[in-house]
Amino acid sequence: MIKRRAGGPWRWLLVVMLASGGCAAPMNKGSHCALEPGSLDDARTFTWQAIPPVDLDDKTGYISPIIVEGLEKAAIAELQRKGLTFTEGKPEEVYADLRVALTLRTRREVVSLSRGGSPCETSDCWERIDLGSVDRMEVRTIGFLAADIYYLGQPVWRGWVERTLYPEDRDNADKVLGEAIPALFESFPP
């Protein structure tokens, strides 16, 4: 007698879905709103908040100005898709219903630490703790993107997304932003 395994055809569909999913990193996301739903229904225009989107002096999470420009273009396109109009100009001189501040950071986290192996005597051993050390670290990079929305000078909404970044993401920033921006503004306007 042949026994059937539990799960039936759905189990195989799940296996196929997981196998075809590739190495895409899961994206964590969330938002917080300080207003009642519908409070921003009359808002029609937006511009940038006078705060710079990234601190280029922060050596721990340097982001290329090219990436920042792509991020701003993608955010403008997403908010325009939601019915808002972008008002250009110096943020401190432009009137708009809403002001948007973007924050983009990366951080490196130690995943594991191991002892042993051969010492590294060259400067390209980024996973080594110190030049000549036999201790190794496995490090991962986490990307964090947030949008703060200001209304009448007060912060009223914040959305954020976070995901693990792989080396190939460096060469595909447009694709990464293309996934992150819609998730970032998913619950906006409230």
Low-confidence ranges of the chain (pLDDT < 50): 1-23, 53-54, 123-126
Q: How many residues does the chain have?
A: 190
98-114 and 45-48 strand pairing:
parallel
**Global confidence as pTM:** 0.69
CA torsion angle for 126, 132, 137, 140 (degrees, to 10)? -10
pLDDT of residue 98: 95
pLDDT of residue 59: 55
Domains of the chain: 27-184 (3.30.160)
**What is the per-residue pLDDT across 51-87, written as a single tens digit (0 to 9) for each?**
654 455 555 556 778 888 889 999 999 999 999 999 9
pLDDT of residue 172: 82
